[in-house]
Structure formats: structure tokens, C-alpha cells
Amino acid sequence: MSAKPMTVFCFFPHRTSLEHAVSALQLAGFRDEDISVLFQAEPLVEGLAAGIPAMGVEEPVPYSGSASVIGPMLGRLAEPLTMSIPGEGTFQIIGPLASTLVSVGAFHKPGGLVEALLASGLPENEVNQYRIRIKKGDILFCINCPLLSHLRKAEVLLESTGAESICATRNGVSE
């Protein structure tokens, strides 16, 4: 095991390619608990958040509705969390990235999304581009990898399933 956290970040423009990637990663042996997804609750991303109420909340709120609302593939990963970040919007977050957003208090302050992306290991030179794409409505996907070989395998699988702007990091430094 590597002592440094390794993560692959990328974007998907639509749900279909995201679900295909999640399925491919699961078939390749990646663990659901290492997968995170973040998308803007409004505007809707091709039905990804259909039926999930966008909440102007002061604290993150677990969404208690049916997993079928976000699709069976994503619903299996983890319970989605709804979070409003001042100046950024309302988001649905699935996976370990949710705890990072909560731990840095992203929902309490402007710039919380940038701080959370940095805390999750995204290099500083990539953060603004990622923030813009998230606000545009693209779906942020990231997967934590315990081994360097997993990091490389995840990159290949994500690229083959239509991921865009793939950024592999080790301890916040691009690979």
C-alpha cells in the first residue's frame, strides 16, 4: 500500500457514460466506497437529479428518497447528500467526497467548493477549471486508489468510458 493518497478526478457530460464507467470500475474490482460523484442539483444534469428536491440548507442533508431517483447504478454507491455552498449552488454528492466537503465546512462559506476540492487532493492549478465545469453542469467523478497500479487502471477505464479532463493525483500533486 502507498502511504500517499491517490485519486483520479474526471468529468462526465452525461449520466449514461458515468454509469458505464461505474459499472466498468466495479467489474474491474474497484470498491464502491472509493467512488465519489458530485453534480449540481439545479440545473438538472440530464435527469440525474430528477425528483431530488434542491434544498437551500444551512447544513448538509442526506436525501432520504428512493435510490431509483438517481439511477440504480449510482444509488448503490452511497446515500446522496444535498449541500448548498454559498456563491456556488446546491449539489448532490455521493461517496467519500461528501465527508471532505463537510469536514472543511464547505457549506458555511463562499469558496467552500474550492477548499473542498483542494482538501480532496485536486492540485491547485486544476481547481478553477474543475469549479467552472461543475458550475456548468458537468458531473465530477473521483475514485480513491490504494495502489499505483489501481490508479493507472482507473485512468485507462475512465478514458475508455468517455471521461473528460482526467487528472490523477498523489497527495495533491498531478501524476
Per-residue 3-state assignment (H helix, E strand, C coil) for the chain: CCCCCEEEEEEECCHHHHHHHHHHHHHCCCCHHHEEEEEECCCCCCCCCCCCCCCCCCCCEECCCCHHHCCHHHHCCCCCEEEEECCCEEEEEECCHHHHHHHCCHHHCCCHHHHHHHHCCCCHHHHHHHHHHHHHCCEEEEEEECCHHHHHHHHHHHHHCCCEEEEEEECCEEC
**pLDDT class for 41, splitting at 50, 70, 90?**
confident
Predicted TM-score (pTM) of this structure: 0.77
Please tell me which residue, 44 or 152, carries the higher pLDDT value: 152
Please give the pLDDT value at position 117.
Answer: 85
The answer to whether residue 10 scores a pLDDT higher than 70 is: yes
Least confident of 1-5, 58-62, 80-84, 116-120: 58-62
